[in-house]
Amino acid sequence: MKYLLDMHCPIGSVLGDDCNLYQELASLETLDEIQLWLNQLYEKILNYFQQKNEEKKSPFERALDYIHMNYRHDFEISRIADHIGISYSHFRRIFRENTGDNVINYINTLRINESKRMLCQTSLTINDIAQHLGYNSSQTFNRFFKKYEGITPGEFRASQTGKDA
């Protein structure tokens, strides 16, 4: 609580206006209940600071965060714009202004880079890697991989392990 007060945080906004910590703590009977209550209390505090931190970020930064958290899933690009609260066309424009590239290429580059790591460091099949990275099929994954890298995922894996594809 001292930390929240030192940070000039409105405790009611963090924990709820009707929160009475002493009364809640006094009602707990076991150490397990106290541990659970403390975990929930810390979670509320962390969520408050994460939300405040998120509010300080620009729409572009929030979009990048969303992309990096979700690029492994198949999703519509319009979801990013909805998530950050701007129009799809505005999102596309600010993304290009900040990266010099379009969002599809950016996401595919993330996926291809992650797939290269997985091809080198795991024994997952190419189909499993494709599914893990949000591609609808291994054929789609193969096509994008070849477009970005100039070789197939199988050829890439073979070149990294010294085996024939």
Residue of 121, 122, 151, 147 lying closest to 135 (CA atoms): 147
Kindly report the three-state secondary structure assignment for every residue of the chain. Answer: CHHHHHCCCCHHHHHCCCCCHHHHHHCCCCHHHHHHHHHHHHHHHHHHHHHHHHHHCCHHHHHHHHHHHHCCCCCCCHHHHHHHCCCHHHHHHHHHHHHCCCHHHHHHHHHHHHHHHHHHHCCCCHHHHHHHCCCCCHHHHHHHHHHHHCCCHHHHHHHHHCCCC
pLDDT above 60 (res 15):
yes
**What are 106-160's pLDDT values in tens digits?**
999 999 999 999 999 999 999 999 999 989 899 999 999 999 999 999 999 999 8
pTM above 0.85, yes or no: no
The residue with greater pLDDT, 3 or 107, is 107
**What are 26-68's pLDDT values in tens digits?**
888 899 988 998 888 888 888 777 777 666 778 898 899 889 9
Segment among 11-25, 61-75, 80-94, 132-146 with least mean pLDDT = 11-25
